[in-house]
Amino acid sequence: SRIMESSSSTQLPACARGIMATILILASSVEAHSSDSRVQSFIITGESRDTITASLPQRKAKCTFDYVAGQPVHENKPVAENTRIKVEDVLQRLSGQCASGQSGYWTYEACLGGNIRQYHGADVYLLGRFSGVEGRILRYDHGLPCDPPANPQERKVDVSLACSDQMGLQLISEPSTCAYTMTLVTPEVCADSSFPKLMATPGGGAGTKPPDDGHEDWILQIRETANGQVVCSAFSTEQKLAGSLLSFSSFSLKIDGDDSSSDAIHYLSAKARSMGRVPLTESEMSVGSNAITHGQDFHGKLGYVEVIGTMGNVEKNAEVRASAEDKKGWFT
């Protein structure tokens, strides 16, 4: 019984246990490293450019994502006459609606065809009443006197329009005492590229959540599907519906064989979406040569992009995998 008890309680020496633990750690790290090449995580900032690559070793395939962020997109692009937008038409469509934004201590609210006010808590000041349109400027006059009786000048505001993904007030300033300027951003003028683009919405509209600081977490991923297709995708992990500060001036996603491959990738399909899962139109993207890139009408917003291809004959690849699955049963 002593021999039985002794053998049942036998344990590996401490040094042997340490070696085994080291082997297990190394094995797990090797496995983790081998899978890391399929998925790359990276951060895109408001002023950056980079080339990110992910690989699928067993298929000898790789995908590459090139981007430039933070630079102007299609400035001074010629505008067709049928896309020109009149400020009077915008005013009519948005009449009665209000936009808000914050600048320092004060919050500002501008109502189309109504009044503009400045407030903080119980302190409220009328900055102007809508008085008309001059060119592309909305004029608001006859606000509260500036500093009576020393300065009885009435407050006034000039409001310009710009394109954005949601309505709000931006670029609020007081260039001279009691004379204000601000920009009302709205999707209503985005079809006319002669209007400035201010896609970020720092103040947001009434009740909207302030956006991020222009940093976005992205993932580049390459994988193989059950039917032998190789899928390459790059996407933001945040997928904001609106308010993203990040704007791209260019992007390119390409799928190809790696340096050790002699097989060519056969292109199947590609697609791209902006933030909010809105598909890019044909003029906003360009597809060809196993790649998808920005098009001539790309507006700067990108949330997801994908290219799908295959190496060799799809049907043959499927037959090889099916045969391999059948042979697994021989050894189980």
pLDDT in tens, 155-172: 999 999 988 888 999 889
Residues 76, 84 contacting (CB under 8 angstroms) = no
Six-digit token pair at 312? Answer: 């060799």
Question: For position 256, what pLDDT does the model report?
Answer: 87
Q: What is the mean pLDDT, run by run of 10 residues, along the chain of 332 residues? A: 40 57 45 60 79 88 87 44 79 91 91 94 94 93 89 92 88 89 90 76 38 70 91 81 67 84 78 83 88 88 90 52 42 33
Question: For position 43, what pLDDT does the model report?
Answer: 83
The helix (run of H) or strand (run of E) holding residue 287 is strand 285-288
Residues 271, 253 contacting (CB under 8 angstroms) = no
pTM of the model: 0.45
Tens digit of each residue's pLDDT (9 = 90 or more) over 91-133: 998 988 999 998 888 999 999 999 999 999 999 999 999 999 9
CA distance 49 to 44: 8
> Dihedral of the CA atoms 86, 90, 92, 93 (nearest 10)?
140
Q: Other C-beta atoms within 10 Å of 123: how many?
A: 9
Residues 200, 172 contacting (CB under 8 angstroms) = no
Residues 287, 253 contacting (CB under 8 angstroms) = no
Let me know how many helices (H) and strands (E) the chain has, helices first: 4, 20
- Beta bridge partners, 235, equal 219, 304
Q: Other C-beta atoms within 10 Å of 306: how many?
A: 19
Question: For position 72, what pLDDT does the model report?
Answer: 43
Question: For position 114, what pLDDT does the model report?
Answer: 95
Tell me the pairing of strands 137-142 and 123-134. antiparallel
Question: Kindly report the CA angle at 166 between 161 and 172, in degrees rounded to 5?
Answer: 45
